[in-house]
Amino acid sequence: MKGNIQISRSLKPKLKTERCRRCYTPIEEKYGYCESCMTRICETIESKIPRKYLGMYNLYFEKILQLRNKSLFITGKTGSGKTGLSFGIMQSELFDGKSCKYICYPEYIDGLRNFQNDGMRTAHYEKMKIANYEGILLLDDVGAETLSEFDRETLYIIVNARYIYNRRAIITSNMSLNQVGEMDDRIASRIAEMCEIVEMEDIDYRVATV
Ligand SMILES: Nc1ncnc2c1ncn2[C@@H]1O[C@H](COP(=O)(O)OP(=O)(O)O)[C@@H](O)[C@H]1O
Ligand SMILES: [Mg+2]
Ligand SMILES: [Zn+2]
Q: What is the pTM of this model?
A: 0.88
Tell me which residue of 203, 196, 208 sits closest to 67, measured CA to CA: 196
Using left for φ > 0, alpha for ψ between -120 and 50, and beta otherwise, residue 67 falls in alpha
DSSP 195: E
DSSP 69: T
Domains and their CATH numbers in the chain: 1-48 (no CATH), 52-208 (3.40.50.300)
Considering only residues 104 and 7, tell me which one the structure prediction assigns the higher pLDDT. Answer: 104
d(CA 117, CA 138) in angstroms, rounded, equals 26
Q: Using DSSP bridges, classify how beta strands 169-173 and 136-140 pair: parallel, antiparallel or unpaired.
A: parallel
d(CA 30, CA 33) in angstroms, rounded, equals 9
> Cα(142) to centroid of ligand 1, in Å?
17
In this prediction, what percent of the chain has a pLDDT beyond 90? Answer: 73
pLDDT band at 123 (very low <50, low <70, confident <90, very high): confident
What distance lies between CA 118 and its chain's CA centroid?
31
Specify the pLDDT at position 1: 47
* Residue whose CB lies within 8 A of the most ligand 1 atoms, among 85, 205, 207, for a mutation test: 205
Residue 178 has pLDDT above 90, yes or no: yes
Per-chain mean pLDDT for the chain? 89
DSSP 200: P
* Segment 25-36, tens digit of pLDDT: 999 877 789 999
104 CB near ligand 1 (under 6 Å): no
